[in-house]
């Protein structure tokens, strides 16, 4: 696990999927927070050899764009987690 939640741990659990595997977050988390709390990177770097996560965390840097299984793309840092989202994180 990359991160450990220190506060607000009593919110409702939200279940979702990352690359087909079940994961969980808390209601009110952004998709970026949910991914990082589950140890998933956001994507592979397009310009280098490393994994990427959000950079600015406010929707300005374009670094946290992700895809759903349906092909829909959005910024993980500004989208709230929703039940049953099926997120694809490129290996």
H-helix or E-strand spanning residue 86: strand 86-88
- Residues ≥6 apart with Cβ < 8 Å to 76: 30, 31, 32, 35, 42, 54, 64, 65, 66
Q: How far is CA 63 from CA 26, 39, 52, 71, in A?
A: 23, 17, 7, 18
Least confident among 4-13, 21-30, 63-72: 4-13
Query: What is residue 35's three-state secondary structure?
Result: helix
Give the CATH fold of the 13-88 domain.
Answer: Ubiquitin-like (UB roll) (3.10.20)
pLDDT tens by residue, 23-68: 999 999 999 999 988 886 776 666 666 666 666 666 677 778 889 9
Going by pLDDT thresholds of 50, 70 and 90, the confidence category of residue 18 is very high
In this model, does residue 87 exceed pLDDT 90?
Answer: yes
> What residue ranges do the domains of the chain occupy?
13-88
């Amino acid at each position: 696990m990359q991160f450990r939640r220190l506060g607000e741990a009593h919110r409702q659990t939200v279940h979702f999927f990352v690359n087909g595997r079940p994961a969980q977050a808390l209601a009110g988390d952004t998709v970026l927070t949910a991914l990082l709390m589950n140890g998933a990177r956001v994507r592979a770097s397009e310009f280098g050899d490393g994994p990427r996560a959000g950079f600015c965390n406010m929707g300005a840097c374009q670094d946290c764009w992700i895809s759903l299984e349906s092909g829909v793309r959005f910024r993980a840092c500004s989208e709230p987690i929703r039940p049953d989202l099926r997120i694809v994180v490129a290996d």
